[in-house]
Amino acid sequence: MSKNTIFTGAGVAIVTPMNADGSVNYEKYRELIDWQIENGTDSIITCGTTGESSTLSAEEHIAVMKAAVEQTAGRVPVIAGTGSNDTAFGVELSVEARELGVDALLLVTPYYNKASQRGLITHFNTIADEAKLPVILYSVPSRTGVNIQPATVAELYKNPYIVAIKEASGDISQVAKIASVCDIDIYSGNDDQIVPILSLGGKGVISVLSNVCPKETHAICELYRNGNVKDSAALQLKYLDLCNALFCDVNPIPVKEALNMMGWNVGECRLPLCSMDEAGRATLRTALEKHQLV
């Protein structure tokens, strides 16, 4: 089955900046999008985990997606996180996203409900069929409690709208199994596994690291695609400490803190995510200083 690839390279799972009163800072959001595109980012992924989708109201979710589409203005694809643990709400958000003009959807595995694999198939197919947009499945069992099994991915890939998966299970063996059972496009969901997943035929990464290092994350993918595997791997390893520092607390707490240290003033995360402790902040600053980002 031949399907169009949504993007290749490094897509940024972009943060949602907040004002001091906790409201969304749309002006800063638009600035971040421009900076990302100017520095080589291949796609904008809005309202994902890193964008704090779980604490955006429905109205905010739609407004943030709208701002992303408007500001990107067709320069790179916009992928909207519209997944939910409520299938009906997932359909509603996804249809709204289509009407706003997004290029594709990122649908996270339903969280808390702990759907069966059969339930996952029905859930994802229902949203894809109603939204009628290219879909990237998002498997992140550490956050949702549910893993999308390779056989389930292969079954879902039969749907003409389901074209890719963001694999954040951390299990390279599982990624290999997915690649062996169907031709679905695979994106790394972990910044420390970009090169390993590219080596299995992956198309790129949906990245947290890109928030602070867009050029470098793009380069890891670009070098690999151009056949320069050695330099791609070297760049991956060079930034491994920063990848780790960006996950020394719950995402997106560290990446927002990093952007604040870099002078972006993106604000705090919304509760229940709280600010980092001093030890974590020191670890993060050390990594940023090492890479001359602060």
- Catalytic residue ranges: 138, 166
Cα dihedral value 101, 179, 13, 5, nearest 10: -30
Is 62:101 a contact under the CB 8 Å cutoff? no
Distance CA 141, CA 186 (A): 16
Cα dihedral value 84, 164, 251, 140, nearest 10: 70
Distance CA 67, CA 64 (A): 5
For 130, the token pair is 């109603």
For 14, the token pair is 């972009």
User: Where does residue 43 rank: exposed (0-12), middle (13-18), buried (19+ CB within 10 A)?
Assistant: buried
Distance CA 41, CA 218 (A): 6
For 285, the token pair is 């600053």
For the chain, percent helix, then strand, then coil, each to nearest 5? 50, 15, 40
Interior angle at CA 226, CA 246 and CA 153, nearest 5? 60
Distance CA 241, CA 39 (A): 21
Distance CA 172, CA 178 (A): 10
